[in-house]
């Protein structure tokens, strides 16, 4: 009981820590997607008046070394479609391989997976072969 209470406290502390990261990231504007930029009153063509680290600010004048990323419609469809496949695959594996132990209030691996995908596919195939109309016709 004491161990469970301690674990709940740890989980709450970690959730608070994660929330703190979101707030800190929002406060610092240290978004990973922000890009190094020139100050608003300068441009790549203007003479360099001081040598120092480039300022990282929200993108007003983004420094570009290469062509911008410009995905087409089908590029986005591909990217998000396969990403949904990845989510479904991982979720299915998780449900198949893990169970929630209500007494321990924790997840643990199943002793045996709920479904063995290859065996399941083989069973489906053998069933469809047996019930195939052409097979019936041949027997007749």
Partner 1 sequence: MADLLTHVLVAYIFATALSWYVDSITPALVTVAMAGAILPDLNRLEFVLPATAVESTLSLPFSWSAFHTLGAAVVVSLLVAALVTPEYRLPVLGLFFLGALSHLFTDVFMYNPTGLSGSYLWPFSSHRFAVDGFYRSYDRWPLLLTALVATAVWRETRRRAAASRPGPSSPPR
**CA separation (Å) from 127 to 68, 113, 121, 123?**
52, 22, 10, 6
Contacts of partner 1 in 99-138 (CB under 8 A): 101, 104, 106-110, 113
Contacts of 131 (CB under 8 A, 6+ apart): none
**CA separation (Å) from 58 to 15, 19, 53, 76, 84?**
28, 22, 16, 25, 31
Stretch that binds partner 1, among 11-19, 40-48, 120-128, 129-137 (CB under 8 A): 11-19
Binding flags for partner 1, 20-59, as an x/- string (CB under 8 A) = -xxxxxxx--xxxx-xx-----------------------
Catalog residues that contact partner 1 under the rule CB under 8 A: 7, 10-11, 14-15, 17-18, 21-27, 30-33, 35-36, 62-69, 71, 75-76, 78-79, 82-83, 85-87, 89-90, 93-94, 97-98, 101, 104, 106-110, 113
């Amino acid at each position: 009981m004491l161990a469970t209470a301690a674990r709940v406290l740890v989980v709450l502390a970690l959730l608070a820590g994660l929330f703190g990261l979101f707030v800190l990231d929002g406060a610092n504007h240290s978004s990973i997607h922000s890009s190094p930029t020139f100050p608003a009153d300068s441009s790549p063509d203007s003479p360099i008046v001081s040598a120092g680290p480039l300022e990282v600010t929200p993108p007003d004048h983004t420094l570009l070394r290469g062509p911008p990323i410009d995905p087409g419609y089908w590029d986005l469809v591909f990217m998000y479609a396969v990403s949904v496949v990845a989510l479904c695959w991982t979720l299915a594996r998780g449900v198949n391989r893990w169970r929630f132990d209500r007494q321990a209030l924790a997840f643990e691996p199943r002793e045996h997976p709920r479904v063995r995908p290859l065996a399941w596919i083989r069973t489906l195939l053998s069933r469809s072969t047996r019930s195939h109309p052409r097979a019936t016709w041949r027997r007749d």
